[in-house]
Amino acid sequence: MTINLTPAGQNVSKLKFLLPQCGVSCVDDSGPQRARHFGHSGCVWSLSDLKRSRDSQYTYYAYWSAFLVPRVRVQKVSFEVESGTPLDVALYKEGWISYRSSVKFGRPRGIADASVDYGDNLCVQVTGEGLVDPTRYRVVRDVEVAFGHRATAGSRISERLRRFFGAGFQNNLLMRGGVGWNVTRRVITGSANLEQISHFRPAELSKVEFLKVGNLIVGGGLAGLGVAVALDACGRDFALVESSGVLGGRVEIVRRLLNAAPSTRAPNDDAAEIRSLLRLIESGSAAFRSGRGRLIEGTFTGFYEEKIGLVLCSGAAIAVSFDNIIFANGSRSPVPLLKGNDLPGVISIDYAARLAAHGALRGKTILYSEDKWSSLVGRLMAARGADIEELVQSDRAKIASILGQRRVEAVVFTDGRRKSLSNFVYGTCRQPALELPAQAGVGYSWVAAADILRAEVSINGSTALPWLWAVGSVTGVCELEASYHQGLAAGYALSQDDGRSRAELKLVSVRDSAPAPTTKSADAFVCTCEDVTVRDFEVAAKKGILGPEKTKRFTGWGTGVCQGKHCLYNGLRTLARDGASPYTQRLPITPTPFVVLARLGENAK
């Protein structure tokens, strides 16, 4: 916003007010009643918004109140949103939850878990901005939104012939024939639904900064904060990378839920646990006040040669050279293997809490919870005003399918009951977000008895490589408060303070075995990017194709744009092989512009 100062009718200078993406120009020397206003569309200005101020030399008019509500326009429908609202939240609140059609079968797809970086797959077109990630784009002005392509005739045919075009269809005899190949190729490319313009802007990311630190922490949840506190206490330097820029991880969800409605009253037992976790966040945040630590807001894309980690930030990329790297990037809940589990409106507990904090979780909601944390967050959402019902264990085992056309409409049980709903929220046994540590060299294996992936690390987070560490729920060993103490133990161990490290390890409790998962439906989707179902895994097994790597190549599981972040766990669960290791995680973990990689190569020379 710019205001021209005009004493004696002459324009002397300009006073700039930092109102993001919004502006007004006022030129006047006699009073607010003659002010001229020029604002962006959708921002309403009135004379009462201006207050007259004086100093010894100039008379000027300052914008007093916040600019009014921007509007979002989607397919000739427009609605108002509070300024600063994330675009995905604004769309979900108004019922726009299906973003595109899937690659193979043309089924509706929406955001299920905001912790997964989907790349261009679930980005939306914003006029004047190009492709944007709706989970990170905040609405501060009028915007017009367009979604990806709809289902094509080819994808509809594929859906009808799903069993024929299912697992290993690329190896089918039809694909090997000349005419058959041409027909099938047209079906596939005609239903790809992927935009051609990337939402990355090379011009903005052509600048690559280089940073040298002793210890690089990836993840700003409780485990990462524990490492930071210990390193700071021992006088060691560190940098912490957090994609959201907000410390606390999923515990921060609790704070947002409570802050969204100060009158919200959590049950007494929940309130005590929440206060304990929030105190840990506050003590962890204090580690940055000494000046030894640096917080980097950006996405860690992977570990490169010569101990260099690449971080994509807003407007630049940072290549971080380190002596030690500590992964503390948390965990996520995999979607339950139920028929209809791919429908928009089937969302994780973390994403549901994000929506509830903005008042966007509307309509009847059913919570499918397998752990205490999900139940706690569900109670908080209910206290916030959400119409949410948690299923008891006996009902979870009786779910037959989730029904709906373009979104969730109902859930059906094996005993014939049917419940209408708008949202199906799942809080399953949390699994490590392993793509980053696994790419760097941390080994993982499936523990069938506990229904979890476990990292091959010692209890203090160290690995066979002295410079590579992993702590917290990314190891599959501990959760929440225990993660914080494991982070402290790792930080003290890195600082050669073995006494304090051993003391913290006494407070680390290994997580309990998970409850038995619901019976798998053959029609449940394992990989929603490539439309791979449980039935496809069964077909592969009958053909003698076993193991994660071979199954991946045959079915296409994990080869979509999320590169397995969303489906790896359910694939291993479906294979049901104790001790099975995940398929190889390859660079880059997050889509990265070639210009950034070129700059890294130039620096290496």
Chain segment 4-28, per-residue pLDDT in tens = 333 333 333 333 333 333 333 333 3
| Joined tokens for residue 465 | 């490589």
pLDDT of residue 260: 62
d(CA 469, CA 461): 5
Strand partners, 80: 71
> Residue 462: its pLDDT value, please?
96
Residue 564 has pLDDT above 60, yes or no: yes
pLDDT band at 169 (very low <50, low <70, confident <90, very high): low
Determine contact, residues 227/293, Cβ cutoff 8 Å: no
Q: Is 346 exposed, middle or buried (0-12, 13-18, 19+ CB in 10 A)?
A: buried
593 falls in which pLDDT band (50, 70, 90)? confident
Place of tokens 């948390």: 330
Instruction: Give the bridge partners for 107, in sequence order.
Output: none
Whether 146 shows a pLDDT value over 80: the answer reads: yes
> Over pLDDT 70: what percentage of the chain?
74
Full DSSP string of 260-296 = H-TT----HHHHHHHHHHHHHHHHHHGGGTTSSEEEE
Helix, strand or coil, per DSSP, at residue 312: strand
Q: Would you place residue 258 in the very low, low, confident or very high pLDDT band (cuts 50, 70, 90)?
A: confident
8 Å CB contact between 142 and 67: no
141 touches 40 (CB < 8 A): yes
Measuring CA to CA, which residue among 223, 220, 244 is closest to residue 115?
244
DSSP letter, residue 43:
-
- Indicate whether 543 pLDDT > 50: yes
Residue 346: the pLDDT is 96
Share of the chain above pLDDT 90, in %: 41
For residue 64, pLDDT beyond 80: no
pLDDT band at 68 (very low <50, low <70, confident <90, very high): low
CA distances from 186 to 57, 104, 157, 177, 240 (A): 72, 12, 12, 14, 46
pLDDT at 482 over 90: yes
Say what the pLDDT of residue 214 is.
Answer: 96
Beta-bridged to residue 339, according to DSSP, are 401
Bridge partners, residue 15, by sequence: 3
- Which comes out higher in pLDDT, residue 152 or 525? 525
Residue owning tokens 């919570």: 367
What are the tens digits of pLDDT across the range 436-472? 999 999 999 888 777 888 999 999 999 999 999 999 9
pLDDT confidence of 62, banded at 50, 70, 90? very low
Instruction: Using the predicted structure, report yes or no on whether residue 479 has a pLDDT greater than 60.
Output: yes
Q: Please give the Cα distance from 169 to 556 (Å, whole number).
A: 10
309-332 average pLDDT score? 92
Q: Tell me the per-residue pLDDT of 515-529, one tens digit each, with 9 for 90 and over.
A: 555 678 999 999 988
What is the structure's pLDDT at 53?
A: 35
More confident call, 262 vs 283: 283
Close Cβ partners of 372 (under 8 Å, ≥ 6 residues apart): none
pLDDT of residue 42: 30
CA distance 106 to 101: 5
How far apart CA 201 and CA 197 sit, in angstroms, is 10
Query: What SS3 class is residue 577?
Result: coil
Backbone torsions φ then ψ of 535, nearest 5 degrees: -60, -35
Mean pLDDT of all residues belonging to the chain = 79
121 or 144: which leads in pLDDT:
144
**Confidence check: pLDDT of 158 > 80:** no
| 316-327 vs 468-470, strand pairing mode | parallel
Q: Which neighbouring-strand residues pair with 525?
A: 533
DSSP assignment of 397-458: TTEEEEEESSSEEEEEETTS-EEE-SEEEEE---EE-THHHHHHT--EEEETTTTEEEES--
Per-residue pLDDT tens digits for 86-123: 999 999 999 999 888 887 788 888 898 877 665 556 78
- At 145 the pLDDT is 93
- Give the phi and the psi of residue 279 in degrees, each rounded to 5: -65, -35
Here the tokens at position 238 are 């560190």
pLDDT band at 499 (very low <50, low <70, confident <90, very high): very high
Both tokens assigned to 446: 């499936």
pLDDT at 125: 87
The encoded tokens of residue 88 equal 């995905």
Residues 394-452: tens digit of each pLDDT:
899 899 999 998 899 999 999 999 999 999 999 998 999 999 999 999 999 888 777 88
pTM (global) more than 0.85? no
Nearest to 455 by CA among 477, 439, 430: 477
